[in-house]
Chains A and B, each alone.
Chain A
Amino acid sequence: MPLAWQGRPLTFMEVCGTHTMAVARTGLASLLPATVRLISGPGCPVCVTPVGFIDHALALAALPNVTLTTFGDLMRVPGSTSATSAGAATAFSSTAASASPMAGVPTPTSASWSTGRASLLYAKALGADVRVIYSPREAVAFAAAHPAREVVFLGVGFETTAPAVAAALLAAKQRGLRNFTVLAAHKTIPEAMALLAGASDLAVDGFLCPGHVSIVLGPEAFVPLAERFGRACAIAGFEAEEILRGLASLIAQVGAGKPRVDNCYGGAVRLGGNPRARALLAEVFEPCDSAWRGLGTIAHSGLAIRAAFAALDAAKRFAVALPEPREPAGCRCGEVLRGVLDPRACPLFARACTPDTPVGACMVSSEGSCAARYQYGLEAAS
């Protein structure tokens, strides 16, 4: 079976940040023949969340008594407002003065944080109570233990993470907590994959499907990609040999001209997925249209907190003034996320845009394509 049968390399796209990092960390792409290309798509939930979410989080962090809890990836993502925003600087300082356990520490009087943009990390450096956690359960436990604090959890992630947040919201409601809210920006991946499968500027022969999203959704979620769009699909685990196995399946499917969904992560992914996780999702969230950086607004690709849980929805609970959202000038994260631009081809890559001086989210998310390229710079990368 000749691999380059269309006169171009076979192109497969992965849509999972963990796959992005695993491929980069192991240098796996350099083992592939020139006739097979593996590209990264919008698999990093932090990267595809528009800048307005960070602005919203920063505005909440500036409120008195707010403890903002978040996964670590969001900490260094730049928002819209630039550094010399004196109002913001003092807002964080005043939050610290009223809330901090270290009450004796003098708060900075004149603080600007950089020539770049504000981020949660800088807000924390200036005194905002922002805490990195591993699980939404920690946020719920903290809220229960500190009734005087308003605990906000930043809900970002695909279908692997959203059920955990749903469970946490349910638990908080059942416990009658009045000081726990979630600022939700969860998204669902199959609709984005369908958009890409139909995109005219992107020739993708198949998808490496996300292993843990598949645990929740089941292989069925990707069947339309094979049947309606004719794309090969293979669900793969996260170690190098599992990814290679997935790629082998994709190549074989293309060669046979028979696209399907091949579950190569059979130990963990079952037909039907995880019904209980999906039931919890459906109880707490409902589908909504959602804006994706680089892909525009995709119908039914987001998860909004249902009305029954409005009291735990941070967007409804707190009225904050939000700045006009401003994506950073010159940032091409959108094209990177669509898979049409290799990070190294971005003029800002490794020059103006580095992990310590990021322009866009793709460079600072721990699953961002640009971060993967930068961090795991391959010897003689071709």
Chain B
Amino acid sequence: MSAAPDRGGAGVGGNASAAPGRGGAGVGSGASAADVVLLGHGGGGRLSHDLVTEHFVAKLGNPALNALTDAAVLGELALTTDSFVVTPRFFAGGDLGRLAVCGTVNDLAMMGAVPLGLAAAFILEEGLPIAELDRLVDSMAAAAREANVAVVTGDTKVVPHGACDGVFVTMSGVGRLTENFRPTPARIAAGDAVLVTGTLADHGIAVLACREGIGLRGDLASDVAPLGGLVALLREAGVSVHAMRDPTRGGVAQSLIELADAAGVRIEIDEATLPVRKAVRAACELLGLDPLYVANEGKALVILPAAEVERALALMRTHPLGRGAARIGRALAGEPGCTLRTLLGTRRTLRMAAGELLPRIC
């Protein structure tokens, strides 16, 4: 156990066992019970969703924002922003710098946009070793090259010791949309297939394994990667893609619940088809987590007409980031929400996660 108290949010998904809240548009218990901000508000589940809809969208609302897509569509352009506060800053498979680039370019990619430029704002804690800052920025630069984009502007603030934890980064990105490739949740139709580009839960587990005092080790590494190239394959081949989303905080479950709500369809996924690495599954078992709720940072959900599935899978599997691409479900007409068909063949509704990740004990 580290000397610093827990920190929440930051790319680690909700804990299914902590009783997810209700899915479905407009169905909720009303205002969140909290009069103060809780770590759970950054967890990506129910509390986060409520904070965004009730306190941000309610006050700032406009058509682009209300759509709550990965990036806002402004005519020909897509605009997105993300903050990165992950701890530890360096973890197996990546670091805060790489994450800041990939998280933001992936939000653009999910809208079908080609990134034009990134803006990086740093909040640095007094006392942070410059060498550590250099490592992060080097990693950021490498990720930007990999993603074929440049950090064209930025800002730096320094706060006194204790006023932030080391480094906080806000990365904004702008991209250009093409005419005939504009995936958006509203386009999802009953009969569509749901694909995922690779294995679930790699990022969240890698970060959690580094962070907690449980001493969990093994073949665990974050999947953090820029998805623009993989998406380009689909775009350039003219594959008809209805919607995409990168399942970060809250995991695949949160993303599918939100997509289903936005599209007004029922999404059903098969537990037997969910690709999960063996070590990650074991780690989830040990930590008492459901892979469906754990964050991913180098994967996408791709929803498209059933007729396009074979072509899309074949294309994606030619790409290093899409080797493990698999079909995991389908969209159906029905009450909006997400259903899981279990290994036993029974069905249950996936709920949004409540609060923040918590380890459990009997």
Contact = CB atoms under 8 A, between A and B. Distances in A.
Given A31-B346, A356-B354, A379-B347, A111 B18 contact: no
B6 interface: yes
Given A116-B33, A350-B22, A354-B22, A125 B161 contact: no
A379 B339 contact: yes
Given A71-B360, A121-B38, A26 B344 contact: yes
Contacts of A18: 362
Interface residues of A, number: 74
A357 B33 contact: yes
How would you classify the secondary structure of chain B's contact residues: helix, strand, loop or mixed? loop
A351 B342 CA distance: 27
A336 B32 CA distance: 26
A356 B161 contact: no
Contact of A72 (B21, B29, B359): B359
B349 A132 contact: no
A207 B339 CA distance: 31
A227 interface: no
B1 A141 contact: yes
Interface in B265-290: 287-288
A101 B1 CA distance: 14
A131 interface: yes
Interface string B346-362: 11110100110011111
B360 A366 contact: yes
Contact of B19 (A71, A134, A364): A364
Contacts of B32: 356-357
Contacts of A125: 34, 36-39
Given A101-B3, A125-B39, A366-B288, A132 B359 contact: yes
Interface of A: 16-18, 21, 25-28, 30-31, 45, 69, 71-73, 75-76, 83, 100-105, 108, 111-116, 121-122, 124-126, 129-135, 138-139, 141-142, 145-146, 157-158, 160-161, 212, 240, 350-352, 354-357, 363-364, 366-368, 371, 374-379
B343 A26 contact: yes
A27 B350 CA distance: 12
Given A73-B360, A378-B347, A379-B339, A356 B33 contact: yes
Contacts of A212: 362
Given A134-B213, A356-B355, A375-B20, A113 B1 contact: no
B214 A134 contact: yes
Top 9 A-B pairs ranked by shortest CB distance? A27-B346, A72-B358, A104-B162, A355-B19, A355-B354, A71-B361, A371-B19, A357-B33, A366-B360
Interface residues of B, number: 52
Interface centre among A30, A105, A111, A355 (most CB of B within 10 A): A355
A195 B287 CA distance: 33
B161 A27 contact: no
How would you classify the secondary structure of chain A's contact residues: helix, strand, loop or mixed? loop
Interface in B317-362: 339, 342-344, 346-349, 351, 354-355, 358-362
A355 B360 contact: no
B65 interface: no
A17 B349 CA distance: 21
15 contacts: A31-B344, A72-B358, A121-B38, A138-B213, A161-B362, A240-B343, A354-B354, A356-B47, A356-B355, A357-B33, A366-B19, A366-B288, A367-B362, A374-B351, A377-B351
A281 B354 CA distance: 35
A30 B346 contact: yes
A73 B358 contact: yes
Contact of A375 (B16, B342, B355, B361): B16
A368 B348 CA distance: 18
B253 to A, nearest CB: 11
Given A26-B342, A355-B19, A379-B348, 13 more contacts: A45-B362, A71-B360, A112-B35, A113-B34, A114-B34, A114-B35, A122-B38, A129-B5, A132-B6, A141-B213, A375-B351, A376-B348, A378-B349
A17 B33 CA distance: 26
Contact of B348 (A73, A124, A141, A377): A377
A101 B3 CA distance: 8
A22 B78 CA distance: 43
A113 B343 CA distance: 41
Contacts of B19: 355, 363-364, 366, 368, 371, 374-375
